Amino acid sequence: MHGIVKGRPFEAFVEKMMQGEATGVMMYYALARLAKEQGLDEVSKEFMAIGNEEAFHSGFYAVLKGAYPQDFWNLVRSLQKVEAAGEEKIKAISDEFRAAGLSEAADEMAVFARQEGGHGFRLEALINRFAPEETSVEGRKVYRCPVCGYEYVGDLESEPDDYVCPLCGQPKKAFVLKK
């Protein structure tokens, strides 16, 4: 089903659904947190369950749209680097929150920081176990996203004008030629 809506009349609909469902994930998770803070544990669990379903829906629409490469291992390699580096970045921000007197938020962010690092280890294990050997980029163009570090290998100009970084959403024009 990868990319089956590209160039079809309902491509815009699928794009809206993908974004709407992704926003729904954030909303339902926030509602779950607010409900939990108010002692409404059963309500919180239901909001989390709905949020999980919304996440699955968003992923489905992303596949229909071809939002991520079907040959996903280069993307996963980039994700692994971003997740591993995210631990230190979020820990530093957590320290700033703590210094500003926001200890409760800082405590949770410190947990999130460790989880991000854990994501990096988990992705590395998946890469080591399942990914094919990384193909050489010698003689090929490599474009780097200046925000998150994602590397696009190949002819970026062949992508449509609305192409965005699959990790952080930066537009194609933000990418910088590395090689």
Q: Pull the structure tokens for residue 39.
A: 């002692």
Q: How high is the pLDDT of residue 178?
A: 87
pLDDT in tens, the chain (179 residues): 999 999 999 999 999 999 999 999 999 999 999 999 999 999 999 999 999 999 999 999 999 999 998 989 989 998 999 999 999 999 999 999 999 999 999 999 999 999 999 999 999 999 999 999 987 778 889 999 999 888 888 899 998 898 899 888 999 999 999 86
CA distance 161 to 151: 18
Confidence (pTM): 0.86
CA distance 70 to 150: 16
Find out whether 95 and 106 touch, Cβ atoms under 8 Å. Answer: yes
Check residue 91 and report its DSSP letter: H
Q: How high is the pLDDT of residue 179?
A: 65
For the domain made up of 142-178, give the CATH fold: Rubrerythrin, domain 2 (2.20.28)
CA distance 122 to 60: 23
Phi, psi angle pair for 170, to nearest 5°: -65, 145
CA distance 91 to 117: 10
